[in-house]
Amino acid sequence: MSNPITRHIPNTLTCLNLTSGCIACLMAFGYRYELAFLFIVIGATFDFFDGMMARLLKAYSNIGKDLDSLADMVSFGVAPSLIVYSLLREMTASCAAGTFCSLLPYSAFLIAVFSALRLAKFNNDTRQTNSFIGLPVPADALFWASVAVGAHDLLMHPRFLPVYLLAVVILFSGLLVSEIPMFSLKFKNLGWKDNKLRFLFLLVCIPLLVGLRTAGFAAIIVWYILLSLFTARPAKQNA
């Protein structure tokens, strides 16, 4: 049982995740994509360690579980929505299609809606104790933040139409709530037999980051999705 001090450590880390997400939202709304990306990465780091510390310190609580979902909704749901909203605002600034162009940026909030559905599903799905069903929200947020920084010039090219970005928003929103089994990166040991999929994933991540830099994070998320699809096993249904 955790003592009065250590039991607050996981929730403190969760609050730091939430704070990072709030700053990422502010940066995204101001078109400062590099800083939005940075604070989403920081938030994801805190999100990783709050769960780890809760397990190590045995400091579980219902408040901690709910707080974690609320923090994730801001950092990995609202923040990427605002990133894509700002991107679409830039892309449609000179658009002459009238009402369609003025409304298109608001489609970015599909990311927030489906992230909320994903988090609610995760909290109530007992199949997701050791792996995931659907794309995790931190992965989705890292994808969009990476795209905004690493592929900004491509997105702003006149030949890259805003509807193309909308199509990707719809695709990734669907992946969030899909029934596709996706592996977890949590290592229970370092043995090859139990972790060969994780080692394969990490080995490919290295050249992607070296070669593509910031855009490499988006490529890594795509690699994660493809590897999950190729190695997926049907998820067991609840009794």
Neighbours of 95 (CB within 10 A): 14
* Per-residue model confidence (pLDDT) at position 221: 97
Neighbours of 1 (CB within 10 A): 7
pLDDT tens figures, 198-210: 999 999 999 999 9
| DSSP helix/strand/coil, 75 | helix
Residue 182: phi and psi, rounded to 5, are -130, 135
pLDDT band at 234 (very low <50, low <70, confident <90, very high): low
How far apart CA 34 and CA 146 sit, in angstroms, is 9
* Per-residue model confidence (pLDDT) at position 239: 40
Q: What is the pTM assigned to this prediction?
A: 0.92
Distances (CA, A) of 20 to 26, 58, 156, 216: 10, 25, 27, 22
Distances (CA, A) of 98 to 73, 142, 167: 32, 32, 20
- In CATH terms, the fold of domain 6-231 is Four Helix Bundle (Hemerythrin (Met), subunit A) (1.20.120)
pLDDT tens figures, 8-33: 889 999 999 999 999 999 999 999 99
* Per-residue model confidence (pLDDT) at position 203: 96
pLDDT tens figures, 133-161: 999 999 999 999 999 999 999 999 999 99
